[in-house]
Amino acid sequence: MIAAGDSRGRPVRLGLRENWLQFTFLVVVNVCVGGLVGLERTTVPLIGTQVFGLTSDLAVFAFIIAFGVTKALTNLAAGALTARFTRKQLLLAGWALGVPVPFLLAWAPSWWWIIGANVLLGLNQGLTWSMTVNMKIDLVGPQRRGLATGLNEAAGYVAVGATALLTGYLATSYGLRPVPELIGVVFVAAGLGLSLVVRDTAVHVALELAQHHTPKPAEHTGFWAIFTRTTWRDRSLRGASQAGLVNNLNDGLTWGVFPLLFTDYGLGLAAVGLIKGLYPLLWGLGQIPTGHLADRIGRKPLIVTGMFVQSFGFVLALTLLAWPLLAGITSAIALGIGTAMVYPALIASISDHAHPTWRANALGTYRFWRDIGYAAGALVAGIIADALNLEATVIAAAVLTALSGVLAAHLITERGTTTTYLAGNSPSGATGEPPR
C-alpha cells in the first residue's frame, strides 16, 4: 500500500520487490565492502612472518586486534551517529576512510603501517557495513528482515571469500605484495561511486514508524539505555550479542591461525587461499536460504544449531590434520555452513526485539560486541599459540563455541516479526508469537 512520498513526490513503499533497484545497488556496494576486507584473509599473516620477520604469533595477530577493536567501536558509534547524519552520509564517510587501505597494505614499510591500515579498514568496515545493513532493513520493512540481512551478508562474505581465493593465487604468481593488495583499488572506486548513487532511506524509516502498532517509547531510549538493554538487561538481546561475539571470535582466530597452521603442515599459498576463500564463500552464499528460513521457522533454531556446527568444524580441523588439505576444506565447509545459519538470524533477532526508533542503536551495540570478537579471537589465539601451539587455539575455539550455543539456547526467545516492542514490558523481551 502506498503510504508516503519522498522529497521528489515519488511514492514510498516498504518491501523488497517495491525497492528492488535501491536494494540491488546496496547489495553491490556490500560486495565492494567485503572485497576490501577480503584482501587480508590469505596474505597478511604471512606478510608478517615472511616479509617483516615476526616470530611472535601475538605480534602477527596484532593487525586483527587493531581491526576488530576499531570496527567494533565504529559499529557502536554508527548507531548513535544516525541521529545526527543520514545513512548515506555515513556510508560515504566510510568509503573515504578506506581509500588509503590497499596502498598501505601493498607498500607499507613496517608492520606498524599494516596495523595503521587496519585501523582505517576497521573505520571503513564499521561505517559502510553498518549502513548497508541498516538501509536494507529500512527498505524491506519488518516482514523480510531475515531475507534482507541474509542477502546483505551474503554479498559481503561471498566477496570476502572470492577475494581471499584470488589473492592466494595472485600471491603464488606475483608474491605476497603488491599485486594481490592492489585489486582493492577497484573495490574502493566502485563502492564509493555506487554510494553516491543510492538514495537515503530516512523516508522508509518514517513510513515504518507511521505503520508501527506501538507509539515511540517515551523513555529509556538514550544511547546508554539501549547499550545496556542490548548488552545485558534484555535476555534475548544478551543471548544474541554473546553468540555474535563468539561467532566472530572464530573468524578472527581462523583469520590469523589457519594460514600459519596449514602452511606449517606443508600447504602452499594457493591451497591456503582455497581454504580461506571457501569458508566465507559458503558463509556468504548460505545466508540467502538461511535468511529466508529465519523468517519462516524462527531465529533461535538456526542460531543454536549453527554454533554447534561451527564447533564441529574446529573438531574436524584437528582430527584430520594428518591430511592438511582435507582438514582445511572440511573445517572450512562446516565453519561456513554454521556461520551462514547464525549470521542473518542474529541480526534479524536483534531487529525483532528493537523498536524502529532505537533499532540502529541496538544493531550498533550488537555489532560492537560481535566485532569485538575479531580482537578477542586474535588475542586468545596469540596468547595460547605463544604459550602452547596453534593446535591448542583450535581446541579453545571449539569449546567456546559449544558453550556459546548452550547459552543461546537458554537465553534467546522468539517474537513475531510484526509484533511491536513495548519498552520495559518484559525483562526478557519474550512476548509475541513465533515468526510466521
Q: What is the pLDDT of residue 417?
A: 46
Q: CA torsion sign, 240 to 230 to 141 to 435?
A: positive
Q: Average of pLDDT values for 270-288?
A: 90
Q: Average of pLDDT values for 234-242?
A: 95
Please give the mean pLDDT across all residues of the chain.
87
What is the per-residue pLDDT across 344-394, written as a single tens digit (0 to 9) for each? 899 889 988 887 778 878 988 998 999 999 999 999 999 999 999 999 999
| Burial status of residue 1 (CB atoms within 10 A of its CB: 0-12, 13-18, 19 or more) | exposed
Q: What is the pLDDT of residue 10?
A: 66
What is the per-residue pLDDT across 74-96, written as a single tens digit (0 to 9) for each? 988 887 788 889 999 999 999 99
| Res. 121: pLDDT tops 70 | yes
| Res. 122: pLDDT tops 80 | yes
Q: SS3 of 4, please?
A: strand
Q: What is the pLDDT of residue 72?
A: 92
- Per-residue confidence at 133, pLDDT binned at 50, 70, 90? confident
Q: Average of pLDDT values for 198-205?
A: 88
- Per-residue confidence at 433, pLDDT binned at 50, 70, 90? very low
Q: What is the pLDDT of residue 214?
A: 58
The CA-based dihedral angle spanning residues 277, 280, 281, 285, taken in that order and rounded to the nearest 10 degrees: 180
Q: What is the pLDDT of residue 347?
A: 86
What is the per-residue pLDDT across 212-231, written as a single tens digit (0 to 9) for each? 665 555 456 788 899 999 99
Yes or no: say if 235 and 428 are a contact pair by the CB < 8 Å rule: yes
DSSP secondary structure, 214-280, as one string = SPPPSSS-SHHHHHHIIIIISHHHHHHHHHHHHHHHHHHHHHHHHHHHHHHTT--HHHHHHHHHHHH
Q: Average of pLDDT values for 202-216?
A: 73
Q: At what angle do helices 324-352 and 269-297 cross, to 10 degrees?
A: 30
What is the residue whose three cell numbers read 548507531?
Answer: 79
Domains, the chain, with CATH or none: 11-411 (1.20.1250.20)
Q: Average of pLDDT values for 50-67?
A: 94
Q: At what angle do helices 269-297 and 145-174 cross, to 10 degrees?
A: 180
